[in-house]
Amino acid sequence: MRSIAVYSLKGGVGKTTISVNLAWAAASLSSRRTLMWDLDSQAAATFLLDGERRNGEGAQGVFTRDVAPTRLIAPTATERLDLLPADASLRGLDRLLYTLGKKKRLAKLVERLGRDYDRILLDCPPGLNEVSEQVLRAADLIIVPVIPSPLSQRALSEVIEFLDRNAIRRGALLPVYNMADRRRSLHRAALETNPNWPVIPMASAIETTSARLRPVGAIAPRSPAALAFSGLWQAIERRLARTPGVRARHPQEA
């Protein structure tokens, strides 16, 4: 089993879209037994894969061990892809983990869930807090969406500083340009600065996923966006096979 976190300090950079489409790619393109674990109290990944708004209080109970994850895990419309949904209770997860004082609680849960899955995708809330620190320690690979703009790239630098400051060595960092529009000079300049980073384009096909509640690879498999996600997933699989458990020290090394 390998765990892949999609994380950013900033909100609005497309973490959920990337998470859901990568989970679909893992299950459909690589035939992996895949779990999408939604850790964001907004439950956007849960909605995209399940189509329901959940108001329950069960998600936080997984961390207190009051609720077994298997009670919440449900299959999705995609074969081999299951969902561990989020709900409003996760709004207090940061305080709960801090109070528990269990720095490896999430890592141990991921390890336990990995007995039944080949790939676990973690859709993470934004911010630097106890939740994000546990996610960064638990993940084998950390996907960081970066909009081609100075503020988004500054957020990436802060994540790298946080990892180094806290001596977090597990998991490889993989920055991904997201919502890239080559018609914009600012975006073109950023892409030229880091030509080896994967790129997910700004595309209408991606925007329709929230309306149709299906990943872009399922509704427009030959579109540039679907091909971009497929290429990103292939890069992830190669990275996991080549350097498991080793974090890049700087984004240019990714």
According to the model, what pLDDT value does residue 55 have?
59
Radius of gyration of the chain (CA): 17
Which domains does the chain carry? 2-253 (3.40.50.300)
Higher pLDDT, 94 or 211: 94
Question: What are the structure tokens assigned to 12, written together?
Answer: 């609005």
According to the model, what pLDDT value does residue 161 have?
86
Higher pLDDT, 167 or 58: 58
Whole-structure pTM value: 0.90
According to the model, what pLDDT value does residue 171 have?
60
- Residue-wise over 20-46: b if at least 16 C-beta within 10 A, else e? bbbbbbbbbbeebbbbbbbbbbbbbbb
Q: Is the per-residue pLDDT at 23 higher than 90?
A: yes
According to the model, what pLDDT value does residue 56 have?
66
According to the model, what pLDDT value does residue 231 have?
96
CA distance 8 to 116: 27
pLDDT above 90 as % of the chain: 68
End-to-end CA, the chain: 22
Residue 174: which of 109, 246, 110 has the closest Cα?
Answer: 246
184-211 confidence digits (pLDDT tens): 999 999 999 999 999 999 998 888 887 8
DSSP character string of the chain: -EEEEE--SSSSS-HHHHHHHHHHHHHHTS---EEEEE--TT-HHHHHHH------SHHHHHHHTSS-HHHH-EE-SSTTEEEE---GGGGGHHHHHHHHT-TTHHHHHHHHHTTS-SEEEEEPPSSSSHHHHHHHHH-SEEEEEE-SSHHHHHHHHHHHHHHHHTT--SSEEEEEEEEE-TTSHHHHHHHHHSTTS-EEE--HHHHTHHHHTS-HHHH-TTSHHHHHHHHHHHHHHHHHHHSTT---SSGGG-
Q: Is the per-residue pLDDT at 53 higher than 70?
A: no
According to the model, what pLDDT value does residue 62 have?
95
Quick one: average pLDDT of 86-103?
91
CA distance 44 to 47: 5
Question: What are the structure tokens assigned to 23, written together?
Answer: 């989970």
Kindly give, in sequence order, each residue whose CB lies less than 8 Å from that of residue 241, ignoring residues fewer than 6 positions away: none
CA distance 57 to 65: 13
Contact 50, 77 (CB under 8 A): no
Q: Indicate the pLDDT class of residue 170, thresholds 50, 70 and 90.
A: low
Beta strands 74-75 and 81-84: pairing type? antiparallel
CB atoms within 10 A of CB 131: 23
